[in-house]
């Protein structure tokens, strides 16, 4: 089947923005916020060990991070509409930098809630940058290729999610096998937590410096966009869009997709450590989370080509079905088959976010910022579903049983793909 003729902004009111060379800048934003988000997968086992947490408590990392999407998504879209895409990106980058620096007092006090607060501030900046990046990459080019272009941009997001966890696992998880926090108490435990937290601090301070440079560059190019315009809306951020069946179902699918993807990524290190899988410590398998995200990177580069010639809805339905099959294989096998089948879910995830986003947002035109803000609110699924998955793991005593919840999410996403396989009506 040929790709649908209408794309994210195919209506007449959404002429492409003229900004030669700006696509590279947007690709860089995707790389940065993707990489920072994926570092949570490395921090979770680290903090779980340091503070002797169960799975539910450890998943509070994702809950606090992704709650920012619920609380900041709509205000972020309103801010972008007021000050523009480029200045909005600068504000988001500065917030990210502040969040990174907050890891310093969190480590010095060795207090888990302070780590959670730092992650929330960091995520607030990520939300604002994402509200800018998703619609902007769709507007920077031919509307008919918006599906493909957004998927290609998401590949740079996946490049960040591949590189950051690999480096982070080396820097952050390397010392976990030397001593266990469960064996310490009192001042010795506090000293151990402060010392081990320093590895986290070093990484995030380095990120803060890099983000500061990017923010400065973006500020210097803040007037590059020509033809940018936004349609006024209420302070509710265009909640009326949810009455459109296609957009409403799409926003729900984003909620479920992010929840499923984050749940698997957050648990994959602990899953691989199990006796029936690879029976290895965090320091030995931590790097393998990069394979999960690398699959998404490869799939997005390939998907940007496939989506030019195949119906996006059909591709989405098939990818979601593939994820369910891979989860079934992993949870009903052992050893390397169980390990690599769950890691391969990353490949199935590849085209889901950009395809759901663009299918849900077809013909929004000048209301693109409203739609992007609402969809970023839907990313709150990354807070709810991982926490529920952690609770299910604690209650059942089995990570395999807990993965039933992500599988159900993929089933609903397949349904959206079938529902949205035809072009949206104006």
For the chain, list the domains and their CATH numbers: 22-224+237-419 (1.20.1250.20)
Which residue, among 163, 133, 104, 109, has the nearest Cα to 24 in the 3D structure? 133
371 and 238 in contact (C-beta within 8 Å)?
yes
Other residues' Cβ atoms within 10 Å of the Cβ of residue 321: 16
Going residue by residue through the chain (426 aa), what tens digit of pLDDT does each one get? 322 222 333 343 445 565 556 777 888 888 888 899 888 988 898 888 888 899 999 999 999 999 998 998 778 888 888 888 889 999 999 999 999 999 999 888 888 999 999 999 999 999 899 888 877 777 776 766 666 677 677 778 878 888 988 888 877 776 544 566 666 677 777 787 787 788 788 888 988 999 999 899 888 888 777 666 666 655 455 677 888 888 999 999 999 999 999 999 999 999 999 999 999 887 788 889 889 988 888 887 788 788 888 889 999 999 999 999 999 999 999 999 999 999 999 999 988 988 998 888 877 766 766 776 688 788 899 999 999 999 999 999 999 999 999 999 999 999 999 998 876 554
pLDDT given at position 193: 78
Distance CA 296, CA 264 (A): 13
* Residue closest to 375 by CA, chosen among 222, 256, 272, 233: 256
Q: How far apart, in whole angstroms, are the C-alpha atoms of residue 89 and residue 134?
A: 12
DSSP state of 223: T
Q: Is 226 helix (H, G, I), strand (E, B) or coil?
A: strand
- Encoded tokens for 393: 């793991």
Calpha distance 132→368 (Å, rounded): 10
Q: Please tell me the predicted confidence (pLDDT) of residue 228.
A: 66
Q: What is the C-alpha to C-alpha distance for residues 151 and 141, in angstroms, rounded to an integer?
A: 14
**DSSP per residue, 321-380:** HHHHHHHHHHHT--HHHHHHHHHTHHHHHTTHHHHHHHHHTTT-GGGHHHHHHHHHHHTT
Cα-based torsion angle of the residue sequence 374, 376, 380, 382 in order, rounded to the nearest 10 degrees: 150
pLDDT at 271: 95
Please report the pLDDT score of residue 6 as a whole number: 29
Query: Both ends of the chain: CA-CA distance in Å?
Result: 21
Backbone phi, psi, residue 307, to 5°: -70, -10
Mapping DSSP to helix (H, G, I), strand (E, B) and coil, where does residue 18 land? strand
Cα-based distances in Å from 412 to 179, 248, 373, 416: 43, 13, 22, 7
pTM of the predicted structure, to 2 decimals:
0.79
């Amino acid at each position: 089947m040929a790709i649908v003729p209408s794309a994210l902004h195919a209506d007449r009111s959404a002429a492409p923005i003229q900004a030669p060379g700006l696509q590279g800048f947007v690709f860089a934003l995707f790389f940065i916020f993707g990489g920072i988000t994926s570092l949570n997968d490395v921090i979770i086992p680290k903090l779980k060990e340091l503070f002797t947490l169960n799975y539910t408590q450890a998943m509070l990392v994702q809950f606090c991070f992704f709650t920012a999407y619920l609380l900041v998504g709509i205000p972020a879209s309103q801010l972008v509409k007021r000050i523009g895409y480029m200045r909005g990106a600068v504000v988001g980058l500065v917030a990210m930098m502040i969040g990174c620096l907050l890891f310093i007092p969190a480590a010095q006090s060795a207090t888990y809630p302070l780590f959670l607060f730092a992650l929330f501030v960091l995520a607030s900046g990520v939300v604002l940058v994402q509200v800018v990046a998703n619609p902007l990459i769709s507007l920077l080019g031919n509307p008919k290729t918006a599906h493909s272009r957004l998927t290609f941009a998401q590949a740079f997001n996946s490049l960040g999610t591949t590189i950051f966890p690999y480096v982070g696992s080396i820097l952050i998880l390397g010392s976990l096998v030397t001593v266990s926090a469960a064996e310490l108490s009192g001042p010795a435990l506090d000293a151990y937590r402060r010392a081990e937290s320093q590895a986290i601090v070093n990484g995030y301070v380095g990120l803060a410096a890099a983000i500061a440079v990017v923010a400065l560059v973006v500020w210097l190019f803040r007037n590059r966009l020509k033809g940018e315009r936004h349609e006024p809306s209420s302070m509710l951020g265009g909640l009326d869009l949810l009455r459109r069946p296609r957009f409403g179902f799409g926003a729900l699918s984003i909620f479920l997709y992010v929840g499923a993807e984050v749940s698997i990524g957050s648990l994959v290190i602990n899953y691989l450590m199990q006796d029936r899988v690879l029976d290895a410590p965090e320091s030995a398998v931590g790097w393998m989370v990069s394979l999960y995200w690398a699959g998404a990177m490869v799939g997005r580069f390939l998907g940007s080509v496939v989506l030019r010639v195949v119906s996006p809805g059909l591709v989405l339905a098939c990818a979601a079905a593939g994820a369910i099959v891979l989860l079934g294989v992993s949870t009903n096998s052992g050893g390397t088959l169980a390990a690599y089948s769950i890691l391969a879910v990353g490949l199935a995830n590849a085209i889901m976010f950009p395809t759901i986003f663009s299918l849900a947002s077809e013909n929004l035109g000048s209301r693109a910022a409203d739609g992007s803000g609402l969809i970023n609110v839907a990313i709150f699924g990354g807070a709810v579903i991982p926490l529920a998955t952690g609770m299910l793991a604690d209650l059942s005593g089995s990570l395999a049983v807990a993965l039933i919840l992500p599988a159900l999410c993929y089933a609903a996403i397949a349904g959206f793909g079938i529902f949205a396989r035809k072009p949206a009506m104006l």
